[in-house]
């Protein structure tokens, strides 16, 4: 394909004033930027463009270490970061009028490259209502300029899709094409997950949305009224230990136990629609309610659901009390004071340690008096005879070869 068809395609993209995008391209495919700008009217498409070529900049954009820098998850992470940035700079555009696009690739290094090294392109689109990612392994024999152009065309097609246009630009350059069958696509949206209000949570207009797991109905604002019993977690995946924790907690507190999952965990990647859909599949056959929130910390959760009891594991309780997350002991103590004022209570479950010994949570072991006093007033430990399930999410993921997207 010559430059003219690609530029004509870019021109058609720019003729539509919105939606507009933040585009982050790492590793290759950066030709997409001059394509859009040379076509004229690039401001109708681009809010911002960024090229994080160094791994440290890549990780800084994400806000976490993704493990691999070139795979579908990394592309989705870039797309989510781009979308969240688009929301902050959208000006008068509605949240529905912006999207994020992220791409990461591993292309030819030229002479001296290790034999058998794969060449890959991964590109993702994140909008308020959907997540879509495309991956392809490039066929052998193409040089770096050819790969760069194919990479840019993959990105250009996704930009067209984000703007509501046909994504039908052939992946072809200099008479050599990548067949459509070589492109692997995954997608998920809010409607497919049964959570039509989830876009309002993702773009900041809602702080939580809920789902009745028995019948799939959305639940209303009454779920925020206390007292409530809540089991927060990433649920990657939900397993028998979580279900048993909820049952035991409900029996001890005398309330039904709601599951809570935040889209924005302070130490983990934000959840997009593919991740939410995968985790919802783990709740098949489980009764109760699931609350999806934009509450990354337990203080945020307590503000959303005042008067609630939170069922937590031993290690989570320790993290809640760790001063480094708050800038020091004084700020941590102030946080505990606000938790208590909000009526937050904690039911703490023990766990098996690496030696195989079961460890109860001992609040009185804290030498810092404010912490020990807070726990004495606001926390209960669940004894081993009521709950012991020697199973962790990590072990379950390892057994399942971690197929969570």
**What is the Cα–Cα distance from 103 to 93, expressed in whole angstroms?**
24
Angle at which helix 369-378 crosses helix 329-341, to 10 degrees, equals: 20
**Residue 133 near residue 72, CB atoms below 8 Å:** yes
The residue that leads in pLDDT, 319 or 47, is: 47
- Span 384-395, pLDDT tens digits: 888 777 665 555
Tokens 């997540």 belong to 131
pLDDT at site 303: 95
- Predicted model pTM: 0.91
Q: Which helix (H) or strand (E) holds 156?
A: helix 144-162
* Interior/surface letters 236-273, b for 16+ CB within 10 angstroms, e for the rest: bbbbebbbbbbebbbebbebebbbbbbbbbeeebbbbb
The full set of domain ranges for the chain reads 3-188, 198-399
Mean pLDDT of all residues in the chain? 90
CA distances from 17 to 12, 28, 82, 154, 268 (A): 10, 27, 19, 21, 34
Tokens 């983990």 belong to 268
CATH assignment of 3-188?
Answer: 3.90.950.20
CATH assignment of 198-399?
Answer: 3.40.50.620
pLDDT band at 361 (very low <50, low <70, confident <90, very high): confident
Contacts of 216 (CB under 8 A, 6+ apart): 194
**Residue 141 near residue 212, CB atoms below 8 Å:** no
pLDDT band at 254 (very low <50, low <70, confident <90, very high): very high
The residue that leads in pLDDT, 179 or 377, is: 377
Q: Which of the listed ranges 70-74, 233-237, 322-326 does the model predict with the highest average pLDDT? A: 70-74
pLDDT at site 310: 98
Q: Classify residue 96 by its DSSP letter.
A: G
pLDDT at site 394: 59
pLDDT at site 122: 98
pLDDT at site 4: 83
- Tokens encoding 336: 């505990």
Query: pLDDT at residue 398 above 70?
Result: no
- The residue length of the chain stands at 405
**What is the Cα–Cα distance from 317 to 245, expressed in whole angstroms?**
15
Neighbours of 322 (CB within 10 A): 9
**What is the Cα–Cα distance from 294 to 283, expressed in whole angstroms?**
20
pLDDT band at 223 (very low <50, low <70, confident <90, very high): low
């Amino acid at each position: 394909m010559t430059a003219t068809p690609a530029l004509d395609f870019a021109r058609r993209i720019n003729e539509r004033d919105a939606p507009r995008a933040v585009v982050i391209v790492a590793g290759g495919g950066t030709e997409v930027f001059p394509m859009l700008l040379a076509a004229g009217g690039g401001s109708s498409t681009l809010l911002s463009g960024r090229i994080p070529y160094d791994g440290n900049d890549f990780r800084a954009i994400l806000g976490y270490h993704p493990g691999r820098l070139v795979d579908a998850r990394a592309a989705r992470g870039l797309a989510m970061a781009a979308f969240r940035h688009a929301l902050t700079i959208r000006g008068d555009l509605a949240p529905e009028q912006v999207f994020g696009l992220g791409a990461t690739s591993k292309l030819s290094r030229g002479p001296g490259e290790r034999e058998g090294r794969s060449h890959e392109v991964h590109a993702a689109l994140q909008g308020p209502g959907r997540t879509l990612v495309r991956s392809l392994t490039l066929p052998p024999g193409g040089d770096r300029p050819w790969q760069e152009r194919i990479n840019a065309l993959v990105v250009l097609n996704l930009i067209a899709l984000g703007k509501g246009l046909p994504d039908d630009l052939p992946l072809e350059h200099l008479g050599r094409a990548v067949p459509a069958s070589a492109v692997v696509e995954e997608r998920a949206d809010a409607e497919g997950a049964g959570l039509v209000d989830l876009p309002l949570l993702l773009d900041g207009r809602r702080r939580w949305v809920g789902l009745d797991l028995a019948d799939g109905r959305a639940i209303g604002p009454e779920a925020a009224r206390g007292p409530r019993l809540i089991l927060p977690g990433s649920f990657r995946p939900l397993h028998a230990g979580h279900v048993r924790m909820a049952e035991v907690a409900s029996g001890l507190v005398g309330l039904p136990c709601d599951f809570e999952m935040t889209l924005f965990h302070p130490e983990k990647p934000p959840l997009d629609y593919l991740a939410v859909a995968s985790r919802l599949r783990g709740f098949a056959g489980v009764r109760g309610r699931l609350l999806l929130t934009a509450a990354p910390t337990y203080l945020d959760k307590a503000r959303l659901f005042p008067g609630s009891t939170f069922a937590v594991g031993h290690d989570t309780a320790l993290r809640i009390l760790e001063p480094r997350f708050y800038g020091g002991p004084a700020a941590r103590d102030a946080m505990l004071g606000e938790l208590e004022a909000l009526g937050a209570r904690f039911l703490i479950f023990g766990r098996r340690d690496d030696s195989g010994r079961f460890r109860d949570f001992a609040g009185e072991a804290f030498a810092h008096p404010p912490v020990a006093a807070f726990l004495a007033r606001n926390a209960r430990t669940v004894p081993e005879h009521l709950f012991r399930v020697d199973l962790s999410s990590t072990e379950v993921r390892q057994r399942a070869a971690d197929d969570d997207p």
